[in-house]
Amino acid sequence: MKQEKSLTVFLNQDLMNKILFFVMMVVFFASCKSEEIDRSDALSSGRGFVEASLKGDYVKAERYMLKDSTNEQYLDGLREFSAKLTPLEREHYRDADIIIDSTRSLSDSVDIIYYKNSYKKEPTPLKLVKKDDQWWVDFKYTFVNNP
């Protein structure tokens, strides 16, 4: 009888552990749900990229970026730059506001956004390219071949 009771307790505990594991997995996957990225227009895509970069969320920033090896190298450089900042500097970037100075349309599929942030007030160009009805950041333009 005592052995039966401990077996029942063991089975109930095993069932509870399985239920708890299932609930934890549901919560985990719900929290990992991919955040929607707005690439519907150049300004939304550009702001999303800059905001993610300022906050140090380079996984999200990469989701806005035109995929090519040069862009990926520049984003890796930005990651390295950020890793060398002091915690206070990183906080200043995270808290910075994006200031759009102007936009320039070069064609129906290429726009340039000139922006700065409230922490480092350096004007910066950001090129956006429309591909498959979505606007993508061509990050390399920020560093080379910009007027």
Distance CA 135, CA 66 (A): 9
pTM beyond 0.85: the answer is no
Blockwise average pLDDT, block size 10, the chain, 147 residues: 55 59 51 72 96 96 96 96 96 96 96 96 95 96 77
Give the Cβ contact number of residue 92 at 10 Å.
Answer: 16
Which CATH code is given to the segment(s) 42-142? 3.10.450.50
Sign of CA dihedral 134, 125, 96, 53: positive
User: For the chain, what are the domain ranges?
Assistant: 42-142
With helix as H, strand as E and coil as C, how does 24-49 read? Answer: HHHHHHHHCCCCCCCCCCHHHHHHHH
